[in-house]
Structure 1
Amino acid sequence: MTRRPARCVLAADVGGTKTALALARAEGAWPGIVSEHVYSSQDHPSLEAVIAEFLSRADARAHARDIAAACACIAGPVERDRATTTNLDWTIDADSLAARFGIAAVELMNDFAAVAVGIGRLEADDLETLQTGRALEHGARAVIGAGTGLGVALMSWTGGDYAVHASEGGHADFAPVDELQDGLLQYLRREHGRVSYERVLSGAGLASIFEYLSTREAPSGEIREALKNAEDAAAVVSTFGLERRDPVAVRALDLFATVYGAFAGNVALTVLARGGIYIAGGIAPKIAGKLKDGTLVRAFTSKGRFSALLSTFPVKLVMNPKVGLYGALHLARRLAQPTVHPARRRGAR
């Protein structure tokens, strides 16, 4: 007699550059992952195409017909079970996913809302402390993170757990704080017109900072040569900056970390994040050495009359790149439970 595979859930973390997928057991020990893989988003026409390719893998195929629920976190706003990605030409619809793959319960959510949920599933060594502060029990929290774009989510205590609030705060207007940043705003405005924080705090933003600083000081021939055929200019700039192989790259990382800290401070003041602010996203772990040298925290607390207050807010660096996927996985497992409200379930197989 052939034994039927245990029920599983599907989680997807959809970003402008990469899409991570995981199949995990619907119940039992966390996280219970039976198959996972990361795909290039740009190489696929839709999320459905990525999921279909994933479920055809040998280690996923046996579970493809036993998916009880799915959750996809999307880099962009979600409205009425539909989402259009901000930095990717995909439109994602929960009903279409349910019908295509025969999944009874499907939910879409903002990617940084999923990161906020996922933080609760991390181990202590997945976090680095940038500022200890004095955390207020059940105080509001905020999560930000730069990658392909700039994500933001907020968390408020409801009496039994934290409620997560999605945000598009990364698209707020960039606010320079000194002459160097004034020049950066003018430089970016010539190319983009309106300049949001995401134009600065992202992979493309780091490359733009380097280009701007290169108009003020000539970079080395070594980095110019490395950038000629580079697919990821930000990775080149960060490598040269961290290794101190080019003075312009060093200053680019310094300016990036400064603006990152100032933006984190703005968000922390907006929600009074006495429970802590978490720096996540794809870039942070890669430049952790720079973010931990005090540059970010100095900018975070540089808020005039409110500097003393901000010095009491804990600031944590999220080092685990799977935090968004973990958030989606946690929510998918909740969706798979029979107590979930029927309105959140679609037609059963």
Structure 2
Amino acid sequence: MKRILVGDIGGTKTRLALAEGEGTAVVLTEVRTYPSLHYATLELVLEEYVTQVGFPVEGIALGVAGPVSRQRAQVTNLPWVVESAALRQRFGVQCILLNDLEAVAWGLPALRGDELFSLQEGVPSEGNRAVIAAGTGLGEAGIHWDGTRFHPFATEGGHTSFAPRTEREIALWRFLQARHGHVSWERVVSGMALPELHEFLRAHEHSSIPAWLQAVLEGASAGAVLAQAALEATDPLCVELMHWFVRLYGAEAGNLALKVMSRGGVYVGGGIAPKILPLLRQPGFLESFVDKGRMRPLLEAMPVQVILTDQVALYGLALAARSSRIC
């Protein structure tokens, strides 16, 4: 594999690196992260990166948080439009665009054992796989097994309609529907969802926000603060919030697993999962994952693993670029 520039383009941050390697092994160098909202366009990020590290590459492969059509993408949670033709003209090398979760799916073969944590051993077998990843938004992808090889494919499953299961979740749906109209799974399982879930819980439980927490929320990433307060057990409502969040996450992971028929395994990625691994290891996630009535035995047989590295999409972009022969 010749050296290429790979980039994971998210609503919060953009991670760029140089990639090379052989087989399914990918070696990344010059890994750098940029705050996406600080830049008007992706081209400005790439130009800054090239200025910093140089440009000894044979191609560019980018994973974009949004639907990709004809090598053009509107980033879902950013005012960026990305086009491979424009990037090829600007930088003088071939460029491919993938959905970011499709890139993660491509990257699974490159993962080492210490980059995965098993939540459910299941009964490992050949078959389709599924990837779900909560970060700024909620991404989902599938991997079709044709009997010989895997074929990753993108979805926009995170934008399908949220299905409440309890009276409290019905109340949450009404709360969010009044604000947003369509209530997607991304509205309840993502980093941007956490502040609204917290706001709803405060109202639902008739609980006021502690002054210390209010002060911290005003100066930092609200979702990260709420999750950390739960992990440290410094606020009971935050603890309740994150346990609920984990159950919602498990429910949608189970939905995706059934739709893809992922006998080959379900992979939980994204920026949130490694940070809340102690909560994912508790019963709530898997209880919701398998709670599908008559399909429970099918889901109990599916391996479920958490992706611990934030570089899997970069691995996948390198492998996809080699498969497409741009490098």
TM-score (norm 2): 0.95
Q: 1:186 to 1:69 in 2, by over 3 A?
A: same
Per the alignment, residue 318 of structure 1 pairs with: 307
State which of 167, 171, 184 in structure 2 corresponds to 1:179: 167
State which of 97, 112, 129 in structure 2 corresponds to 1:141: 129
Tell me which moved more, 306-315 or 194-203. Answer: 306-315
Given that 1:21 and 1:37 are in contact with CA atoms closer than 8 Å, whether structure 2 keeps it comes out as yes
State which of 12, 19, 29 in structure 1 corresponds to 2:14: 19
SS where residue 266 of structure 2 aligns?
A: strand
Question: Take 2:44 and 2:294, find their aligned partners in 1: how far apart are those partners?
Answer: 52
Note if 1:222 corresponds to 2:181.
no
Per the alignment, residue 127 of structure 1 pairs with: 116
Deviation, 1:29, is: 9.5
Note if 1:154 corresponds to 2:142.
yes
Q: How does 1:81-120 map to 2 (within 5 A)?
A: 81-103=71-93, 105-120=94-109
State which of 4, 8, 12 in structure 2 corresponds to 1:9: 4
Deviation, 1:308, is: 1.9
Per the alignment, residue 251 of structure 1 pairs with: 240
Structure 2 unaligned residues grouped into runs of 5+: none
State which of 252, 261, 264 in structure 2 corresponds to 1:272: 261
Per the alignment, residue 211 of structure 1 pairs with: 199
Q: Deviations over 1:138-183 (max 9, x none)?
A: x111000111110000011123320011000000000000011111
Question: Take 1:27 and 1:177, find their aligned partners in 2: how far apart are those partners?
Answer: 47
Structure 1 unaligned residues grouped into runs of 5+: 1-5, 339-349
Structure number with greater Rg is 1
Question: Take 1:268 and 1:111, find their aligned partners in 2: how far apart are those partners?
Answer: 19
Per the alignment, residue 305 of structure 1 pairs with: 294
Given that 1:84 and 1:91 are in contact with CA atoms closer than 8 Å, whether structure 2 keeps it comes out as yes
State which of 57, 64, 82 in structure 2 corresponds to 1:67: 57
Deviation, 1:67, is: 1.9
Given that 1:9 and 1:26 are in contact with CA atoms closer than 8 Å, whether structure 2 keeps it comes out as no
Question: Take 1:268 and 1:327, find their aligned partners in 2: how far apart are those partners?
Answer: 21
Q: How does 1:288-299 map to 2 (within 5 A)?
A: 288-299=277-288
Amino acid at match of 2:33: V
Q: How does 1:234-249 map to 2 (within 5 A)?
A: 234-249=223-238
Question: Take 1:183 and 1:207, find their aligned partners in 2: how far apart are those partners?
Answer: 16
Question: Take 1:302 and 1:334, find their aligned partners in 2: how far apart are those partners?
Answer: 38
Deviation, 1:216, is: 2.5
Q: 1:255 to 1:308 in 2, by over 3 A?
A: same
Deviation, 1:82, is: 0.6
**Percent same amino acid at aligned positions?**
40
Deviation, 1:119, is: 1.4
Deviation, 1:332, is: 2.7
Q: 1:337 to 1:222 in 2, by over 3 A?
A: closer
Amino acid at match of 2:288: A
Question: Take 1:34 and 1:130, find their aligned partners in 2: how far apart are those partners?
Answer: 30
Amino acid at match of 2:235: D
Q: Deviations over 1:95-131 (max 9, x none)?
A: 110110010x211010000000111111011111111
Given that 2:20 and 2:318 are in contact with CA atoms closer than 8 Å, whether structure 1 keeps it comes out as no
Question: Take 1:185 and 1:273, find their aligned partners in 2: how far apart are those partners?
Answer: 28
